[in-house]
Amino acid sequence: MDELRRRLKEARPSNWQHWPMVRGLWPWFAALGAVLMLAIPWGIRAEERSLDAASREALADAGILIEDITFTGRRATIVADLTPQEQNTAVTVLAEMGGVAKVTWQEGSGLLVAPTTTSSTTTTTETPEPGARLTASVKDGRITLRGIVPAARAIKDIGDAAGDVWGNAVVNQLFVDESVLAHPWLATAEDSIVVLTMLIDPQLTLDGEGATITGGAIDESTLEEAISRLAAALGTDTEIDNKVTVTPLELPRIQILSPGDGTVALEGTVANTDVRKAIVRAVAKTGSELETTNEITIGATTADVYPLRRIPEIVTTLGAADQWTLLFDGESLGGSAVGGRFFVDDRVKVSAPANELLDELGRFLHLDPHLNIEIEVHADPREGDVDATDLAMRRAEAVAARLVRLGIDPHRISATNAAGTGELLRFQLIPADQ
């Protein structure tokens, strides 16, 4: 038996004998791991030192006297004897500086206090306690969130609400300070920031004193509607400082035609090159061999409105069709898809590409309660017992049902059918008064 084991061992060398190169390199791997273990803590400490120095300088410039400030990662601990108003100012300074995720306070020794003057009379002034603050600004299709909230849950809820509207174009720089007051607007902040989709380059600030909103509006009626919706979200007790101005800008216009012959024609007018590039890139992704004619121009007096930023997403979903069109005139959005993966065989169930399109359309309907949608579905004549008109109607009803499941009021949806040439889905988002 021992002889058999010896022969087997000689016949099957160990794995290390099969990999002499690996055996030679393992000390280098070990050294690399050691370097990384040292580098990561060093990087964290370097960031802490940088935040420490920057914070001390920023607080000193703001006239805030502190005994000490220390950092654990991006969490700051401040030792100081400050009034609630001074604490609020300090937190605001650190929030605007960026990089600080949370602030906690420790009581100071009482040796370092701000200089005071004596007077023959003593007056008592009520100092407001520091409260939550949110600034949401939109520029170039991206929303940036800054400010202070009392809990991490608020950061997530507000960030998720922004993501539902702006997708991945969200910069969330909110941070937590558990000592700040939770103002009533925190409960409806998600509804408040949605109003920014109606304006041009807007900024909304919410704090203990109320709301301040700036930016531009395409016309007076749009401005009135935006302020009305903001007031409804915040409640009648919240004061709104409206600094939005009506701008003399024109609405953008886009037309994209893909007739299924290997060509795509784009024309229209948009606000800037970023929008045009995004649309062209989205069209290119629908087919690498497409011959594209791009006649989209940049208008110096064209508004950069929110719906225009969603055009690339809609183009991506429509690209699943053999033929498709998309038309946007600044107020209404329409298009069609024929064939491809939108409708399969004799099935009624809404396909995945059609669901993606309906999700985008549902987003528009949620954002603007004054928009309605018209859906029209066609079906090719069938052999056998399948009635094309009936199939088209059942498909139209399935599309409408999908929108209802997304939370759209059925009264805002019109779904019709027809028998025709091509498996067609046509949609039109139009203002309710048209």
Give dist(CA 313, CA 268) in Å, integer: 18
Give dist(CA 425, CA 375) in Å, integer: 7
Helix axes 388-405, 352-367, angle to 10 degrees: 50
pLDDT value at 45 more than 90: no
Give dist(CA 322, CA 313) in Å, integer: 17
Give the least confident one: 142-146, 246-250, 420-424.
420-424
**50 contacts 94 by C-beta, under 8 angstroms:** no
Name the pLDDT band for 23 (thresholds 50, 70, 90).
Answer: low
Q: What is the pLDDT of residue 126?
A: 46
Classified as helix, coil or strand, 164 is helix
Please write the tens of the pLDDT for every residue from 79-120: 877 777 777 777 777 777 677 777 777 776 654 444 444 444
Q: What is the pLDDT of residue 13?
A: 47
Place of tokens 């928009």: 371
Torsion from C-alpha of 160, 164, 167, 170, nearest 10 degrees? -40
CATH number of 47-107: 3.30.1340
Tell which wins on pLDDT, 4 or 204.
Answer: 204
Q: What is the pLDDT of residue 192?
A: 92
Give dist(CA 346, CA 263) in Å, integer: 29
Taking Cα atoms as reference points, which of 60, 96, 90 lies closest to residue 77?
A: 90
Interval 227-253 mean pLDDT: 91
Helix axes 306-318, 352-367, angle to 10 degrees: 170
Name the pLDDT band for 27 (thresholds 50, 70, 90).
Answer: low
Kindly report the CATH class assigned to 133-246: alpha beta
Interval 302-321 mean pLDDT: 91
Structure token pair of residue 354? 């059609």
> For the residues of 58-74, what is the DSSP string, one character each?
HHHHTT---SEEEEETT
Please write the tens of the pLDDT for every residue from 285-310: 888 688 999 999 999 999 999 999 99
Domain with CATH 3.30.1330.60 in the chain: 253-431
Residues in the chain: 434
Rg (CA), the chain: 30
> For the residues of 358-381, what is the DSSP string, one character each?
HHHHHHHHHH-TTEEEEEEEEE--
Interval 345-351 mean pLDDT: 79
Please write the tens of the pLDDT for every residue from 111-130: 444 444 444 444 444 444 56
CB atoms within 10 A of CB 116: 6
Domain with CATH 3.30.1340 in the chain: 47-107
Q: How far is CA 306 from CA 217, 256, 289, 367, in A?
A: 12, 18, 30, 10
Structure token pair of residue 244? 């939005």
Interval 408-413 mean pLDDT: 94
Give dist(CA 405, CA 304) in Å, integer: 31
Which residues neighbour 136 within 8 Å (Cβ) at sequence distance 6 or greater? 143, 144, 145, 162, 192, 193, 196, 203, 204
CATH number of 253-431: 3.30.1330.60
Domain with CATH 3.40.1520.20 in the chain: 133-246
Please write the tens of the pLDDT for every residue from 144-161: 999 999 988 899 999 999
How would you classify residue 281: left for phi > 0, otherwise alpha for psi between -120 and 50, otherwise beta? alpha
Interval 222-248 mean pLDDT: 91
Name the pLDDT band for 20 (thresholds 50, 70, 90).
Answer: low
